[in-house]
Amino acid sequence: MALTAPPNFDSGYLRAQVRAEYERVAREPHGEFHFHRGPEYASNLLGYDAAELAALPEECTARFAGVGNPLRIGDAPGVAPVTRGETVLDHACGAGMDLLLAARRVGPTGRAIGVDMTPAMREQARAAAERAGLGEIVDIRDGMYEDLPVESESIDVVISNGVVNLAPDKTRVFAEIHRVLKPGGRLFLADVIVQRELTAEARNDPDIWAACIGGALMEGEMLELARTSGLVDGRIVQRFNCFMGTSAEQHVSKDLFVHAVNFYARKR
């Protein structure tokens, strides 16, 4: 089970590894990493609109390292898309590509709040928002997803892309998502899942967690986690082969079927 890290797991080491990794992405977006990055990856493997990405500043698109396409969840049957005037929270926003796409959807009467623990990523996100002319809509905040610096019941849509798998305590993360959502608010979550349970050795290795695999949920766990946090209508609406051709794909068992999903749920 990946809902919480194993006993004696070094969560501090994991957090330091994750922060260092994404500081490096912020400073060297074209460097060597175990995961894909950039607008070509986003459009070719994840279904983002290439023209829409080309209209965004490179500060955010070059540093994009998500695993799915959360805003596309709004295209699923029975799901309300992000609309003008809404308040969106990008949960661990990185350099802000999804955040700026959301900001353009909510328009000048809406708000797009990004929370991230990595200073260099926050710096890039702020620069991208200003360059895109979205500085009045976008609000970048320092914070952790276990303790979001956001008022309760203030958010219409939480978007999240590839970060919940990194959380040592996912129950707490989902509780925070539930807390900040307004009644009727939606969760648009993209994250890594695995087909079967990992070995105890893998679950206890912070380096495998930092590679976005050690802490990945199984599909049933994601559904149960949403339900127990108080969210309803949880369902997977799309799947992505986000690790195709990466070193991460080469070093995991094929029967794990490591991939990413777009997952939807809402608050009553």
- Give all domains of the chain, ordered by start, each with its CATH number: 28-67+83-267 (3.40.50.150)
Using the 8-state DSSP alphabet, how is residue 77 labeled? T
Cα–Cα distance list, 205 to 9, 161, 168, 208, 239 (Å): 8, 22, 12, 5, 26
Give me 63's structure tokens: 């540093």
Alpha carbon distance 138, 156 (integer Å)? 15
Taking only the tens place, the pLDDT of each residue in 25-84 is 999 999 988 889 999 999 999 999 999 999 999 999 999 999 999 999 999 999 999 999
pLDDT at 10: 81
The pLDDT of residue 6 is above 70:
no
Give me 61's structure tokens: 């698109």
47 in Cβ contact with 73 (< 8 Å): no
pLDDT at 174: 98
pLDDT at 248: 63
Residue 213: band (very low, low, confident or very high) from pLDDT cuts 50, 70, 90: confident
Give me 134's structure tokens: 């979205």
pLDDT at 232: 98
pLDDT at 152: 98
The pLDDT of residue 191 is above 60:
yes
> Which helix or strand (DSSP H or E) is residue 181 part of?
strand 181-194
Alpha carbon distance 128, 254 (integer Å)? 38
pLDDT at 205: 75
Between strands 217-218 and 231-240, the pairing is unpaired
* pLDDT > 70 in the chain, percent: 94
Taking only the tens place, the pLDDT of each residue in 124-133 is 999 999 999 9
pLDDT at 200: 79
Taking only the tens place, the pLDDT of each residue in 138-189 is 999 999 999 999 999 999 999 999 999 999 899 999 999 999 999 999 999 9
